[in-house]
Amino acid sequence: MKLPELSVRRPVTVLMIIMVILVLGVISFTDLGLDMLPDITYPIISVITEYQGVAPEDMEKMVTRPLEEGISTVKGVKSVDSISQEGLSIIMTEFEWGINLDFAAQDIRDSIGLMEDFLPDEVSKPLILKFDLSQMPILMYGITGEMDLRELRQYINDNVKPLIERLEGVASAMVYGGLEREILINIDKAKLTARNLSLAQVIQALRAENLNLPAGHLTRADTEYLLRTVGEYESLEDIRNTIVTLQKDRPIYLKDIAAVEDAYAERRSFERMNRRTGLMMIISKQSGANTVIASNRVLQEMENLQERLPANIEIKPFWDQADMIKRVVSGTTRDALWGGLLAVVILLLFLGNWRPTLIIGLAIPLSVIVTFVAIYFADFTLNMMTLGGLALGIGMLVDNAVVVIESIFRNIEEGKEKKKASVIGTSEVGMAITASTLTTIAVFLPILYTKGMVGKLSRGLALTVAFTLFASLFVALTIVPMMASRILLKAKEGKVGKFIPQFSGKRFRRFQDRYKELLKWVLQHRRIVILTALGLFVVSLGLFRFVGMEFMPSQDSEFFFMMTKLPVGTPLEKTDLFVRQIEDALMAQKETELITAMGGLSQATKQDAAFGFGASDVNEASLFAKLVDMNKRERSATEFQEDIRKLIPKIKGAKTTIFDMSQIFSGAGGTQAPIEIKVFGKDLPVLKGIAEEIAEQISDVEGLRDIETTLREGKPELQIRLNRRQAADLGLTAAQVAVTIQTAMQGQVATRYTTGGEEIDVRVRLKEADRRSLENLQDLLIPSPFGFYIPLHQVAKLEYKMGPVKITREDQERKVSVTANIFGRDLGSVTRDINERLKDFKLPSGYFIEVGGQYESMVDMIEGLSIALLLAIILVYMVMAAQFESLIHPLVVMFTIPLAIIGVVASLLITGQTLSMLSFMGIIMLAGIVVNDAIVMIDYVNQLRRRGLPRTEALLQGASIRLRPILITSVTTILAMLPMALSRSQGAEMRSPLAVVVIGGLITATFLTLLVVPTVYTLLEDLFHRKKKIAPQVEKA
């Protein structure tokens, strides 16, 4: 017994299946997570190593290169990039997609462990971080208050941070900014020298006096006691009374030679919100936690906390990922609902009867609910891609039900009884809709094997559409015939209700007759039709060069990020003043809702720098701006940013770059610049010269903004050159001299002071009066092992030099990049202009250029999806060949694909859309969608020919009978996707390109399918039969 027949005979069984689907669907839907994007873990691991006060070239030589050599041996490494700058080494290791990053991180730890013996002793333990979009902050708060910043930070750490971190789904709440407490021991140089002491002795004494040590156990009177020597400092007075040494049996106390202060660590950064100095709190969720639920819990807890906070403390969110997710989900859901409603209205117009329309209208939510079950068991979340797949699926899932209901409806119109018509009508088209569904699903199989970011982003969308189509096929073969056998009646002529005109009955038959006459003329003038179609295809290919290209379309996001870099050597105070001017310019705009600014090098910016953005020195700062909702703005985000560029103060050597946050958080190449020209070589001055020449040559390319080179002017250095022979004669080594200078000027953490559960650094250095001038440095006394002191100027000379700010490397080669943003043009056309400018550029021997950035990602995307498209076409052909049991008829159907390309190019040019990952996926989808109409037509034509009709008569009758389901399926799909194509809501830029491509391709493919496919059908058959006739004649000859 066939499935349709079983469904018609067992309606109660089908009803129970519906109930099971509803229950499972509701349970699955309530348990599905909500996220912005699929769970994407970039295969990037960063290694951050600190070595305070060390110049970039020394960092490269002593830290970066040894670590690079070890990391490069790890299995699965694709590329190793590094940045060496003052006191900081950052190594970013990219692995092949699909690798287990936890195992990779452990392999890196092991390789670093082997290299640690080759690193200087003072180097910090390397910090290993994974770049995971799901671990990006879900909430960021700005905190201000009318109190001392140290007190404010302490209050937040004690009263807010613990409450947030205990919430379910929250991984951490990190507080940045404010003042960090530090115990400063300011040594008086004169008193130290007078007592014949050295800084090293002071540090040694502090370390020896501040410790607790276990001493085992002691049993006494049947009781075991734990033995501990307790020597840790309990107060600042204990530190002051530390005995540094004994001289003539008289103790020399620390207070005799130094002032001990409870102070703050040297401030090398600033943080502000809306121009008020304050703190930042960054909240991350646990891996796998629902972003929206975790964010809602934090927001609720913060609301409860506001009632208990002191009146002078303000905590305000400036980044809420959940709010963005909810708006994107809301917009996508609204598009899908409007699309479904339009599809149902069109069905009513075509069928002229509310009963079949009701059946199909019920098939839509049932198919969607089945899809929720599949999404749940596939371990997906509801995100921009899966919801986009659902919205697209709604446009296509009515196709199967429409073809079935139209076939049943036609059989009823011919006079058959309802149950019999339901079984016969479904059986007539069962193989056709199964084949058409399989061809559509087949195009997604190659996408599942696509690697890299493209594969990660597209997999959820592809599988969601596949789930939706499988669900619609199941509903069309079971639930639709069962319901049709119960409620379907023959349509009445005239009107549906009072106001809806009917496009069926006599009116539609007149339309069919006109189409049949046109088709008859077409079959008599096959050469004209084929040449016209071929000409349109060739013209569309010629126009394709005018279609722009990019990796992912930019979104009109209310968030944007700015990085400003002043001339190297600019102190923090000057950077602060410059940033305040930008803040003033931003706050003067009516679209600005909130801004935060971070300058200098802090713990937060170090982690940002690990992934390629964020301030990395006191001459750099970052600003984060939040605009009002796009519906309340007169300017788009890009227009606003362009206007802000004009308001930034013009200072020689200052560079300000604006980053598109939508590109970062949509997975479009992470933190890559749109344009990056990489220059490789050995000598830094040569690399710098080449990069500056390239920047000059491309400076007037239309659409380029924020052009800069990664190797800028050198940082002023005062280098201390040791006379090794003189130093050796006096018993000094380079290490002794360097450590003494470092301790005297920068200070050295001798030990840690514990109080109230908090550990505070105890730093030893000379008092400010003894280290503020060049003369102080030259007169610095270095203790000799022979018992006397040598002024630094006797064993070393001071030289002014310019050292590099940052040294970047890629795959262990030095690199300097020229980067730029784009405004008003697409990535592909700008890159073509740049390549044209640089085609005759001459490079010295041993130096070469590569184009990277988002352009590199775009090229990889086009290559990967082009292969996927080719495989999809082959799979579609194979499915149809199996269904038709013919190698010729599938070729007829395949002619619809180039016909769709005509509409694709036209729709992209008319709407101004670019060829991006999303529009390319639309082209791949079209390869499976546009063949469906031809399959339905050719399948029925073959059925008629098997019944004995001549070929021409079968084509005329079969094409005219299948005209209505073809038009219904195409128009419903087009209209269902129309809201998505026209949408201007949050995240529409990520949905619209795909819908535009599908709509454009369907329009031309549907129209031309009705005329060209029958023509090609006859041509290929004639050609095939002619060859069969010629073959025997050749054999006889």
Model confidence over 468-478: pLDDT tens digits?
A: 888 888 888 88
CB 583 within 8 A of CB 595: yes
Q: What percent of the chain has pLDDT above 70?
A: 93
Range with the lowest mean pLDDT among 354-363, 545-554, 721-730? 354-363
402-410: average pLDDT: 80
pLDDT in tens, 326-349: 887 788 788 878 888 887 887 777
Indicate if the pLDDT at residue 904 is higher than 90. yes
Classify domain 1-31+353-490 by CATH number: 1.20.1640.10
Nearest to 889 by CA among 945, 947, 934, 948: 934
Residue linked to tokens 């129309």: 978
- What is the reported pLDDT for 132? 63
Question: Which pair of tokens denotes residue 727?
Answer: 């130093």
CB 827 within 8 A of CB 835: no
User: Helix, strand, coil shares of the chain as percentages rounded to 5?
Assistant: 55, 20, 25
Condensed to tens digits (0 to 9), the pLDDT of residues 21-59 reads 889 988 988 888 777 777 777 788 888 888 877 878 888
State which amino acid sits at residue 617: D
Looking at residue 1031, what is its pLDDT?
46
DSSP letters of 720-776?
EEE-HHHHHHTT--HHHHHHHHHHHHT-EEEEEEEETTEEEEEEEEE-GGGTSSHHH
| Architecture, CATH, for domain 558-659 | 2-Layer Sandwich (3.30)
Give the span between the Cα atoms of 292 and 298, in whole angstroms.
10
Query: Does the pLDDT value for residue 483 go beyond 70?
Result: yes
Please, which pLDDT band fits residue 1027 given cuts at 50, 70 and 90? Answer: low
- Euclidean distance between CA atoms 451 and 455, whole angstroms: 5
Three-state DSSP state, 637 = helix
Judged against a pLDDT cut of 90, whether residue 763 lies above it is answered with yes
Q: What value does the mean pLDDT take over residues 1002-1010? A: 87
| Averaged confidence pLDDT in the chain | 83
Residue 194: C-alpha distances to residues 191, 258, 789 (Å): 5, 13, 11
Give the separation between CA 274 and CA 616, rounded to whole angstroms: 22
**pLDDT tens-place string over residues 647-686:** 888 888 788 888 776 665 555 544 567 888 999 998 888 9
What is the enclosing helix (H) or strand (E) of 1026? helix 992-1036
Question: How far is it, in rounded angstroms, from Cα 454 to Cα 921?
Answer: 10
pLDDT at residue 1037 greater than cutoff 60: no
Secondary structure of 6-49 in the HEC alphabet? HHHHCHHHHHHHHHHHHHHHHHHHHHCCECCCCCCEEEEEEEEE
pLDDT band at 766 (very low <50, low <70, confident <90, very high): very high
pLDDT in tens, 376-393: 888 888 887 888 788 777
Residue 827 has pLDDT above 60, yes or no: yes
Q: What percent of the chain has pLDDT over 90?
A: 12
Is the pLDDT at 444 greater than 90? The verdict is: no
Name the nearest CA neighbour of 35 among 132, 161, 174.
132
Greater model confidence, 397 or 253: 253
CA 162 → CA 176, 301, 600, distances in Å? 15, 11, 28
Predicted confidence band at 240 (pLDDT cuts at 50, 70, 90)? very high
pLDDT, one tens digit per residue, over 779-795 is 888 888 888 888 998 99
Which residue intervals of the chain bear CATH 3.30.70.1430?
Answer: 33-135, 558-659
The band of 499, judged by pLDDT with boundaries at 50, 70 and 90, is very low
Pairing of the two strands 781-783 and 559-565: unpaired
In the DSSP assignment, the letter for residue 371 is: H
Neighbouring C-beta atoms of residue 691, cutoff 10 Å: 24
Topology, domain 33-135: Alpha-Beta Plaits (3.30.70)
pLDDT for 258 beyond 80: yes
The torsion angles phi and psi of 170, rounded to 5 degrees, stand at -95, 130
State whether residue 258 is helix, strand or coil: strand
pLDDT in tens, 568-627: 778 888 999 999 999 999 999 998 988 888 888 765 555 555 445 566 678 888 888 888
Query: For residue 398, which of 508, 473, 501, 502 has the smallest C-alpha distance?
Result: 473
* Ranges for all domains in the chain classified under CATH 1.20.1640.10: 1-31+353-490, 515-546+886-1037
Nearest by Cα to 706 from 680, 737, 675, 684? 675
Fold of 515-546+886-1037: Multidrug efflux transporter AcrB transmembrane fold (1.20.1640)
> So what's the pLDDT on residue 259?
93
On the question of pLDDT at 359 being above 50, the answer is yes
Average pLDDT for 139-152: 84
C-alpha torsion 886→892→897→898, nearest 10: 140
Q: What are the tens digits of pLDDT across the range 173-231?
A: 988 877 778 899 999 999 998 888 889 899 999 999 998 888 888 888 788 888 888 88
Q: Is the dihedral of CA 287, 293, 297, 298 positive or negative?
A: positive
Q: What is the pLDDT of residue 664?
A: 58
3-state secondary structure of 588: coil
Task: Tell whether the torsion through CA atoms of 187, 189, 190 and 192 is positive or negative.
Answer: positive
d(CA 241, CA 230): 16
**pLDDT band (50, 70, 90) for residue 729:** confident
Task: Give 511-564 pLDDT, tens digit per residue.
Answer: 888 888 999 998 888 889 889 989 999 999 999 888 988 888 877 778 888 888
Amino acid found at 317: P
Fold exhibited by the domain 181-213+225-264+716-803: 3.30.2090
Residue ranges matching CATH 3.30.2090.10 in the chain: 181-213+225-264+716-803
Q: Distance between CA 475 and CA 468 in Å, rounded?
A: 10
